[in-house]
Amino acid sequence: MKLAEFDLKSAKTYEFEPDLSDVKQKRRFYYEPSESFSFPSAAKCLFERDGEVYLLDTDGFLYKRRPDGTGFRMVSMTQFGLTIKFLPIVKDGEKAVIVVTPDTAEVARNASGTEISVPYGILRFYAGRIFSASGKTVFYSGLYDFTSFDPNIGGGGFIELEEDDGDIVGIEELSGKLYIFCKNSLFSLTAFGEPTDFKLEKLSFPRLTPDENSVLKVDSNVYFLSGNILKKFDGKTVKTASLSLVGKTLTGEAESFSGMYVRTITGEDGNYSFVYEDATGEEAFVKIPTNAECNGAITPQRASGKILRLTGETVGVDLYSVEGADFGTSAIKTVLAADVGATGTATLLIKGESGTVKRKIKNGGSYVKFCASGRFFDLSFTDCSEDFSINRLKLIYSKCGG
């Protein structure tokens, strides 16, 4: 088939053939019931950390799984309400969990029901202190003193960011630093010295623009969405991880299960979880079981329910992706078409500086036209059928001034 048949003859064109030797097996993700539980009310949400499982029921009472796994016990008679955040901490060398609930503007309770003064916001534990961020302010507690955030009592305090930085949308600890993600900026906060002092540094990452409810650490990387494009930050660089959420409607906050970044998606025929595995870079859309809560973590029922484990298994399907390709030239380029030879079906996504283009690939292959411009391009195949494989991939492009 000639390029002229697709009106490409008006510009001098070039061809780029990505290396398809980097092939990896695809993983199939699914929710698997792993255990059942029972308690007086239906389950509302679940939190799991280092083998410890906490459950909040729809009456606002908090339960913790017994060490022997035989059931759950009520943590306290405190009725927490249905909006809570779990915050893992370490004190006196022991791991613990604080349950924060916005009963009033600045009052929270720990898991035993004791009231503590914690400004409600995005919460993280770092360098022996609780950090709470909202708006353009980061509050921090005293060193292993979580009862006060007052700079005059107990060594607490706050950090105020500039108006141009935008609101804070996430804070995460990575490699000994606390990173503060704002709508327009990224900061690193480092604790040092005795008594503890902080060094705040503004990092140079233009057009970072992370979305709300999307910033989350998974293993050794921090993930966030920017215009529904999944980005990965390792403390030094920001890379595109996935384009599969472009155009999707997301609900709730990002969650992490067993090294996977998870977002809930509202679809025409039900809800799904988008799953991205940090260790392998594999991704999938997984149907959420009926009546499930917390991105499919539990299926609540009155007086009984099931905890579901999000897991995956390797299947013999090839997955292809190319990241940051410059086609061997630094010139601005416009990709005009793709010639794909394939078995099975998939969706081809190509992202340039001008935006993201999606095209369906049919069984047997497709020759698809589009227009995507930039110096660097990310390319991936998503929504792949189980039998999908590629035997030919060629991009046709023109160069600016060429």
pTM for the whole structure: 0.69
Measure CA 291 to chain center.
23
| pLDDT tens-digit readout, 329-379 | 888 999 899 999 988 888 888 888 888 888 999 999 899 998 888 988 888
Measure CA 249 to chain center.
15
Q: Say if domain 3-23+320-399 classifies as CATH 2.60.120.
A: yes
Share of the chain above pLDDT 90, in %: 21
| pLDDT tens-digit readout, 77-119 | 777 777 778 888 887 777 777 777 775 444 455 555 566 667 7
| Residues 141 and 158: beta-carbon distance below 8 Å | no
Measure CA 212 to chain center.
11
| Number of C-beta neighbours around residue 143 at 10 A | 16
Determine how β-strand 52-57 pairs with β-strand 62-65. antiparallel
Q: Which residue has the tokens 């660089």?
A: 237
Which pLDDT band holds residue 319 (cuts at 50, 70, 90)?
A: low
Which pLDDT band holds residue 226 (cuts at 50, 70, 90)?
A: very high
The pLDDT value given to residue 368: 92
**Across 313-338, average pLDDT:** 78
* SS3 assignment, position 163: helix
Most confident of 70-79, 178-187, 375-384: 178-187
CA–CA separation, 148 and 108 (whole Å)? 12
- DSSP-derived letter for residue 193 is T
CA dihedral 199, 204, 208, 210 (to 10 degrees): 0
Could you give the residue range(s) of every CATH 2.60.120 domain in the chain?
3-23+320-399
Lay out the sheet containing 355-361: strands in order across. 321-325, 377-382, 346-352, 355-361
Share of the chain above pLDDT 70, in %: 81
Which pLDDT band holds residue 194 (cuts at 50, 70, 90)?
A: low
